[in-house]
Chain A
Amino acid sequence: MQDFYDAPAHRLMRLVQLGRRAEALASSSLWLCAGCGQCSARCPNELDVAGVLETLRQMARRAGILPQPNVEAFARCFLNSVRAHGRVFELGFLLRYKLASGRLFEDLDLGPKLLKLGKLSLKPHSCRGQAEVEAIFQRFSNEGAHERN
């Protein structure tokens, strides 16, 4: 994914070494990392580079720094769908994502294909476990900052 990064992974590591927090958290690279883990698997010093980017991503999100808002919106809509239904309701969350991102016309070609193949359900699956999932999210929202480390 590095072709699409603004700061290459090694630059991000250097920024972290130097404590240049603001620049590191502002990078869009954090959001474009697909988490493939190739970097960590190859690092000769056995550093978890993918893990560092993931942590920076979480930190950026908590600080509200979103240079790639669509990626965050995608995750947010996905998790909201999981919260609401227990299992992700694909059609539902994709539509919400489109509204959130403003990308109304993207991927419109895929919808009919999936419908034709019968792989896109028009209703969410019912799931008794949803109540427990909701509770997890609720407890997470109520968590104080001191509990996160």
Chain B
Amino acid sequence: MSEIELAYYPGCSQVGTSVEYDMSTRACCKALGIRLFETPDWTCCGATPAHVVDHALAAALAGRNLAQAESVGARQLVTPCPSCLLALRSARSRCQNEAFKRRVERLLGRPMPMEVESRSVLQVLVEELGIERIVSSATRRLEGLAIAPYYGCLLTRPPGLMAFEDPENPTSMDRLFSALGARVAPFSLKTECCGAALAVPKQEAVLELSGRILEEAEATGAEVLVVACPLCQMNLDLRREQIERRLLRRFSIPVLYFTQLLGLALGLDAERLGLGLHNVSALPTLTRLRQAWATEK
């Protein structure tokens, strides 16, 4: 079987407040035979703030990383962060317009690489590697663990640009974790916004929106909320107590990155997956799974 080799763009969150997403992504990819090589000398893609200022600035900041990847011969780039992915993909898409491209290249000081394609880790795992192959590499089953898969906004929108799944009802995580033995609850707020980057400047908005997601997740009886975005994870996990104070109720559901849950199924150890790095402890989930695995023997 040929190995999949991809340029990897971690994004600023993954070396900062969402380091466990990076850890678990790398660990899963290694276990699945996907070789990631970090884009040399990568810099911030600009994310949402760059788009507040100017599209060309944003495209230049993102484009620099595409150029860095190209400089080491990469044609495929993968990133765990949907916000970075949007920046990278829309830079390439907007540069189809020649006038815009020229402006971006003037800012960038080097040619804008149009051949480097960027995708999310989730997309690569599900579409390129395939759920069957992942399941065959799994050493553990998820024992009917009830999960609510939360995709967030940017993985599937804008649908034409992200070219991934149906924005009304994406099912990649549903199918992946179902195949690994989890019980996937029908979660109706799969692609509702958590509030994203407004968390700091407009906290109340994020607490309301993220609060609704937690309410719905717990209402479905899910034991774990599974996410694929560092910003979503932060809003739903780190700001848990803030949400509880605002909505005047407790939420106990832990929020895991999908790569962390996947990693458990692949038999990787909890520390390597950064499972201790959450605000809301993932211990109940771990314990539940470990007990089930122990009785299995």
A and B in direct contact, judged by CB atoms within 8 A: yes
Give the residue of A37, A61, A148 whose beta carbon is less than 8 angstroms from that of B154. A37
Contact indicator B41/A79 (Cβ below 8 Å) = no
Q: Distance (Å) between the CB of A135 and the closest chain B CB?
A: 6
Q: Mark B15-43, 1 if CB is under 8 A from A, else 0.
A: 11111000000000000000000000111
User: Mind listing 5 A-B residue pairs with CB under 8 Å?
Assistant: A37-B153, A38-B193, A87-B44, A117-B279, A120-B16
Report whether over half of chain B's contact residues are helix, strand or loop; otherwise say mixed. Answer: helix
Contact indicator A73/B242 (Cβ below 8 Å) = no
Give the residue of A54, A97, A110, A140 whose beta carbon is less than 8 angstroms from that of B239. A110
Given contacts A34-B193, A88-B44, 15 further A-B contacts (CB under 8 A): A1-B209, A34-B195, A34-B197, A36-B196, A48-B158, A70-B201, A71-B198, A72-B52, A76-B49, A79-B50, A86-B43, A129-B42, A136-B57, A136-B60, A139-B107
Contact indicator A121/B16 (Cβ below 8 Å) = yes
Distance in angstroms between the alpha carbons of A24 and B52 in the assembled complex: 16
List residues of chain B with CB within 8 A of the CB of A76.
Answer: 49
Distance in angstroms between the alpha carbons of A133 and B110 in the assembled complex: 12
Q: Mark B174-202, 1 if CB is under 8 A from A, else 0.
A: 00000000000000000101011110111
Contact indicator B56/A148 (Cβ below 8 Å) = yes
Q: Distance (Å) between the CB of A92 and the closest chain B CB?
A: 11
Q: Which residue of B lies closest to A55 (CB)?
A: B55
A44 an interface residue at 8 Å Cβ cutoff? no
Report whether over half of chain A's contact residues are helix, strand or loop; otherwise say mixed. Answer: helix
Contact indicator A79/B241 (Cβ below 8 Å) = no
Contact indicator A71/B201 (Cβ below 8 Å) = yes
Distance in angstroms between the alpha carbons of A133 and B201 in the assembled complex: 25
Distance in angstroms between the alpha carbons of A35 and B193 in the assembled complex: 9
Distance in angstroms between the alpha carbons of A26 and B198 in the assembled complex: 19
List residues of chain B with CB within 8 A of the CB of A72.
Answer: 52
B221 an interface residue at 8 Å Cβ cutoff? no
B271 an interface residue at 8 Å Cβ cutoff? no
List residues of chain A with CB within 8 A of the CB of B196.
Answer: 34-36
Interface centre among B16, B46, B196 (most CB of A within 10 A): B16
List residues of chain A with CB within 8 A of the CB of B18.
Answer: 119
Contact indicator B109/A75 (Cβ below 8 Å) = no
Give the residue of B15, B42, B53 whose beta carbon is less than 8 angstroms from that of A58. B53
Given A1-B209, A61-B52, A86-B43, answer yes or no on A74-B200 (Cβ-Cβ < 8 Å): yes
Q: Mark B145-168, 1 if CB is under 8 A from A, else 0.
A: 000000001100111000000010
Contact indicator B198/A114 (Cβ below 8 Å) = no
Given A75-B48, A132-B109, answer yes or no on A101-B201 (Cβ-Cβ < 8 Å): yes
B:244-297 near A, CB below 8 Å: 276-279
Contact indicator B41/A129 (Cβ below 8 Å) = yes
Contact indicator A136/B16 (Cβ below 8 Å) = no
Distance in angstroms between the alpha carbons of A19 and B276 in the assembled complex: 54
Please tell me the number of chain B residues within 8 Å of chain A, measured between CB atoms.
Answer: 60
Contact indicator A82/B201 (Cβ below 8 Å) = no
B92 an interface residue at 8 Å Cβ cutoff? no
B106 an interface residue at 8 Å Cβ cutoff? yes
B205 an interface residue at 8 Å Cβ cutoff? yes
Distance in angstroms between the alpha carbons of A136 and B103 in the assembled complex: 11
Contact indicator B107/A114 (Cβ below 8 Å) = no
List residues of chain B with CB within 8 A of the CB of A4.
Answer: 202, 204-205
Interface centre among A57, A82, A137, A149 (most CB of B within 10 A): A82
B219 an interface residue at 8 Å Cβ cutoff? no
B54 an interface residue at 8 Å Cβ cutoff? yes
B1 an interface residue at 8 Å Cβ cutoff? no
B:81-122 near A, CB below 8 Å: 99, 103, 106-109
Contact indicator B157/A41 (Cβ below 8 Å) = yes
Q: Mark A123-136, 1 if CB is under 8 A from B, else 0.
A: 00101111011011
Contact indicator A41/B159 (Cβ below 8 Å) = yes
Contact indicator B53/A117 (Cβ below 8 Å) = no
Q: Which residue of A lies closest to B199 (CB)?
A: A107
Give the residue of B50, B99, B205 whose beta carbon is less than 8 angstroms from that of A1. B205
Contact indicator A119/B16 (Cβ below 8 Å) = yes
Distance in angstroms between the alpha carbons of A31 and B78 in the assembled complex: 30
